[in-house]
Amino acid sequence: MRADELKRFAVLAECSDDDRDSIAGLLEERVLRPGSPLFREGSEAEALILVAEGALRLESRRTGPLGQVGPGGAIGGVSLVTVGKREVTAIAQGKTRLWILERAAFRRLVEDAPRAACRVSEGVLVQLAAATRANLDRLA
C-alpha cells in the first residue's frame, strides 16, 4: 500500500504524509467477493476498516438495512480504543477491496508514531460526531 492512497479517506484527512507513511505499513489488505460478509453483527469489533474499492452494505437484525460505505469511507474506528461487539453486519457489494487497521497494530502506532495515532483518533472522533449530529437531526 502506498501512503498517498490514504489521502482520499476522510478519517485520515488531518494526517501528514509522514503520518500516512506510518499508518500504511500497518494496514492489512483484504479483498471480498460479492456477497461475502466482512463481519457479522455480534462478532468482536477490533479494527478500523477503510473501503478502497467497492462497497459494504450494512444491516442490523434490529433495524434492517442501514445503507452502505463506499470508496473513501471508513467504519469501525471506535473499536481501535474500545472493546465490544459489532452492531451491524457488513457484506460486500460487488468485489470490494479493504485496508484494515487492527487494534494491535494501532497500539503499535501509538508507541512508534504517537502523532499519527492522535490524528487517526481525531479522524474517528470527527466521523463519530458527524454521525451523532445526523442521527439527532433525523430524530428532531
- Provide the 8-state DSSP code for 103: H
pTM: 0.90
pLDDT single digits (tens) 90-121: 999 999 999 999 999 999 999 999 999 999 99
Q: Which of 28, 11, 12 is nearest to 20 (CA)?
A: 12
C-alpha cell at 21: 507513511
pLDDT single digits (tens) 19-28: 999 999 999 9
Average pLDDT score, the chain: 92
- Residue 130's contacts (CB-CB under 8 Å, 6 or more residues apart) are none
Looking at 2.60.120.10, 3.40.50.720, 1.10.600.10, 3.90.700.10, the CATH number of the domain 3-133 comes to 2.60.120.10
- Higher local confidence (pLDDT), 135 or 52: 52
pLDDT at residue 16 in the model? 93
pLDDT at residue 20 in the model? 94
Alpha-carbon span 65 to 121, nearest angstrom: 27
pLDDT single digits (tens) 45-65: 999 999 999 999 999 988 888
SS3 21: helix
